[in-house]
Structure 1
Amino acid sequence: MKTELISTVFLSEKRKSTLLMLMDGPATIDEIKNSINGTTSAIMAQIKILLEQGLIEQKNDEYRLTHVGQIILKKIKPLIEALNVVEGNKDFWASRDLGAVPDPLLDRIGDLGDVLIHEPDLNHLFEPPRELLVSLKQTKNVCTFYSYFCPTCPNNYAELAKKEVNYNLILTRPVYERLRDEYTEQYNAIMESPTSHLYVCEEDIVKPGAISVTDNLLLLSFFNKKGFFDHKKIISFEDSAREWGQDFFLHYRGLAEQVK
């Protein structure tokens, strides 16, 4: 029975997609068909299997999860979401050092949802991705962590401060000291802004390359397993990813000291 249920969920994309859809509530066959892009006959064949396995039930014209289906899907959904994140970019994840991510957030890695991997060409290695720059012009809230120095970032920091965006910035101490000593005008703009908050964390903590969370975007970068920063970044526009990123940022804010 255990093997049957696992096979029922995982050996058909249509069955898996139907079950995930029904987690949000009952649906008619037409709603299911429109959601997972299949013919009525193909979907009905999978619906029949789900009914036989006791994972769904039919009431009038709608299908819904049974209590057993709800129990199983609540356990399986995080695994499915994690597999979707990792399988789409296996080489990237296999090469990343994820030691900076707390275990509870690793358990929620599926929250990242649909991600794109940003890999700049040689002419744009030290520039933030265009998606982030566009988002920074529109957002009212930003949380950023940097453990490396980005030459274009001080001007971005200062612009956010002058616009009085609700801005929280964490820097490792070497990055902070370079900002303070070499970019005095931008540093002063941050410190004088009533809505900007600057924090410093020590260099010896295990850390990612960068975290940026805006009102509509999450950007992440990690060092590779050799300890190098290779400029590859993750970008996601999903709400669940932004919530994940906020929690990741708050983890590091708890390890940092505010500059006053």
Structure 2
Amino acid sequence: MKAELISTVFLSEKRKNTLLMLMEGPATIDEIKESLTGTTSAIMAQVKILLEQGLIEQEEDEYRLTSVGRIIMKKIRPLIKTLNVFEENKDYWDTRDLSSIPEFLLDRIGDLGELMIYEPDLNHLFEPPKELLTSLKNTRNASTFYSYFCPSCPNNYSELAKKEVHYDLVLTRPVYERLRDEYKEQHDAMMESRNSNIYICNDETIKLGALSITDDLMLIAFFNKEGVFDHKKVISFEKSAREWGKDLFLYYKENSEKVK
């Protein structure tokens, strides 16, 4: 029975997606059909299997998870989310060094949800993605970490400071010292803003390139397994990804010292 239930969930995309949908609440066959691709008869065939396995039940025109179905799906949904994250961009993840992510957040990496991999061409290698620049222009809050010096960072964050956008900026010590010494005007604007906070992370062994969370976006950049920063970045607009990113940022912020 154990193997049969696993097969029931994982060997059909329609069954899996039906179960995920019913976790949000009861649905009619028409509502299930609207969220899936396929004919009514094809979907009904999969619904019948779920009924026979005791994972769902029918009450009048609606289908709902049984108690057993809900218990199983609460355990399986995080695995499905994790598999979706890795399967969609397997080549990328196979080359990433994830040692910078604490265990409790690796367990939740499925929260990244639907994401895109940004890989700049040579003409834009040192520029942030346009998605991040657009988001920074409109955000009211931002949390950012850099372990490398981003040439546009001083101007971007001094502009946020002048607009009194609330943000926390965590930098490694070498990055902060370059900002302070070579970009005095921008640094002073950040220091004078009542809503900006700058922190120095003294752990220079961190193998995370960058992390930014705004009101509508989460961006993260890992080093590859050879220890090289190749400018590839992960971007997600999902709320769960932003919450995941905030928790990661807080992890680094708590291990940093405040400059102001």
Superposed pair shares fold, TM > 0.5: yes
1:126 aligns to 2:153 (yes or no): no
2:43 maps to which residue? 43
The Cα offsets for residues 20-67 of structure 1, whole Å up to 9 and x where unpaired, read as 000000000000000112211010000000000000000010000000
1:5 maps to which residue? 5
Amino acid at match of 1:196: S
2:115 maps to which residue? 115
Cα distance, 1:152 vs structure 2 = 1.3
Please say if residues 113 and 238 of structure 1, whose CA atoms lie closer than 8 Å, have aligned partners that are also in contact. yes
Structure 2, unmatched stretches of 5+, are none
3-state secondary structure, aligned to 2:199: strand
Q: Map residues 17-32 of structure 1 onto 2, 5 A cutoff.
A: 17-32=17-32
Equivalents in 2 of 1:78, 1:217: separation in Å? 21
2:180 maps to which residue? 180
Please say if residues 219 and 234 of structure 1, whose CA atoms lie closer than 8 Å, have aligned partners that are also in contact. yes
The Cα offsets for residues 119-163 of structure 1, whole Å up to 9 and x where unpaired, read as 000000000000000000110000000000011111001011111
Equivalents in 1 of 2:171, 2:215: separation in Å? 21
Please say if residues 173 and 202 of structure 1, whose CA atoms lie closer than 8 Å, have aligned partners that are also in contact. yes
1:194 aligns to 2:194 (yes or no): yes
Equivalents in 2 of 1:30, 1:149: separation in Å? 53
1:145 aligns to 2:113 (yes or no): no
Amino-acid identity (%)? 72
Cα distance, 1:171 vs structure 2 = 0.2
Q: TM-score, normalised by structure 2?
A: 0.99
Cα distance, 1:206 vs structure 2 = 2.5
2:95 maps to which residue? 95
1:251 maps to which residue? 251
3-state secondary structure, aligned to 2:208: coil
Corresponding residue pairs, total: 260
Amino acid at match of 2:185: E
Q: TM-score, normalised by structure 1?
A: 0.99
Structure 1, unmatched stretches of 5+, are none
Of residues 34-43 and 96-105 in structure 1, the stretch that sits farther from structure 2 once superposed is 34-43
Amino acid at match of 2:110: G
Please say if residues 172 and 204 of structure 2, whose CA atoms lie closer than 8 Å, have aligned partners that are also in contact. no
3-state secondary structure, aligned to 1:204: coil
Please say if residues 174 and 203 of structure 1, whose CA atoms lie closer than 8 Å, have aligned partners that are also in contact. no
RMSD between aligned residues = 0.7
The Cα offsets for residues 221-252 of structure 1, whole Å up to 9 and x where unpaired, read as 00000111000000000000000000000000
1:226 maps to which residue? 226
3-state secondary structure, aligned to 1:4: helix
Amino acid at match of 1:238: E
Please say if residues 114 and 236 of structure 1, whose CA atoms lie closer than 8 Å, have aligned partners that are also in contact. yes
Equivalents in 2 of 1:77, 1:205: separation in Å? 34
1:68 aligns to 2:68 (yes or no): yes
Cα distance, 1:68 vs structure 2 = 0.3
- List structure 1 segments (4+ residues) > 3 angstroms apart after TM superposition: none
